[in-house]
Amino acid sequence: MRITSTVLKSLAVAAVGALALTACGSSETPAASSTDANALKLINAGKLTVCSDIPYEPFEFVKDGKNVGFDMDIAAEIAKDMKVELTVIDSSFDAIESGLFKTQCDIAISSVSITDARKGNMDFSTPYMDDDLTLVAKEGSGVTDLESAKGKKVGVQQATTGAKFATENGLDAIGYEDSGLQLASLKAGTTVATLGNQSVLGYAIKDDPTLKRVADFKTGEQLGVAVPKGATPMLDQVNTTLKRLTDDGSLAKFTATWFGTTN
């Protein structure tokens, strides 16, 4: 889904990652012996270190000085099951998408869509959310579906699945760097509709009665927790927690809490 990032964050990840590698080679102790291939190893002993590109509301953002959101609740549950402390590092999405996060984090959770290209850089957990596309328009705009949006200016977030879908379906798409600018253009009348993932756009318009989801598009996009390639014990642990959260209804509660009822 998302692709936005900053060079500054990437540089920070690389620098801290180098320090993390140095630390692992000296004083830091992994959670289990490095000679046991099946052992669950941690970059920092006693802590689950998680990379996330913050802010990206409602998945991850800062409120009252704390990292909160849908993804943060899931990360907390993974750490809880491992009986370790959760530590979150604000990373660039570039560092996550490229797999560089593995130099400083045990996992990455940041509304990362599972794609074949990304599977070359990381392993993915079982999906924890379906995140198809939606078209949002102002009430009375005349835009009620894909066909009625053609020939009119439609906002998208640059280099996302939404932007690709808009181009493939012949929309007159205007790209914005982030979803905030995308929504602002719709409210200002620069665009008459906007296209993107249901999670973020649905959340963004939930308290605005003048905006409405007029059409949903099943694209099969799903979000997963990113794990360094070959870190099978960690992947198994993440999947175990996700199954528990699904079975006991916690994941549904998190969804209701952070996304609520959309327009």
**Segment among 34-48, 180-194, 247-261 with least mean pLDDT:** 34-48
**Cβ-Cβ contacts under 8 Å for 8 (sequence gap 6 or more):** 92
Whose CA is closest to 105, among 67, 73, 79?
79
For residues 226 and 162, give the distance between their C-alpha atoms in angstroms, rounded to a whole number. 21
> Structure pTM?
0.78
Burial 19-58 (b: 16+ CB within 10 A, else e): ebeeebeeeeeebeeeeeeeebbbbbeebbbbbbbbbbbb
For residues 115 and 128, give the distance between their C-alpha atoms in angstroms, rounded to a whole number. 14
CA 5 to chain centroid, in Å, comes to: 12
Residue 209 token pair: 């009665």
Inter-CA distances, 174 with 29, 134, 155, 193, 195, Å: 49, 16, 5, 10, 10
Give the model confidence (pLDDT) of 53-102 as tens digits. Answer: 998 889 999 999 999 999 999 999 999 999 999 999 999 888 998 999 99
Sign of CA dihedral 17, 111, 79, 81: negative
User: Given this model, what pLDDT does residue 137 score?
Assistant: 97
To which residue do tokens 């909160």 refer? 68
CB atoms near residue 218 (< 10 Å): 8
CA 167 to chain centroid, in Å, comes to: 23
As a whole-number percent, the residues of the chain with pLDDT over 70 amount to 84
User: Given this model, what pLDDT does residue 2 score?
Assistant: 56
Give the model confidence (pLDDT) of 196-232 as tens digits. Answer: 999 989 888 988 999 999 999 999 999 999 999 999 9
Q: Is the pLDDT of residue 180 over 90?
A: no
- Chain mean pLDDT for the chain: 87
Largest CA distance in the chain: 65
| Residue 121, amino acid | N
Please name the residue ranges forming H helices in the chain: 7-24, 70-82, 93-98, 116-119, 146-149, 161-168, 179-188, 198-204, 232-247, 250-259
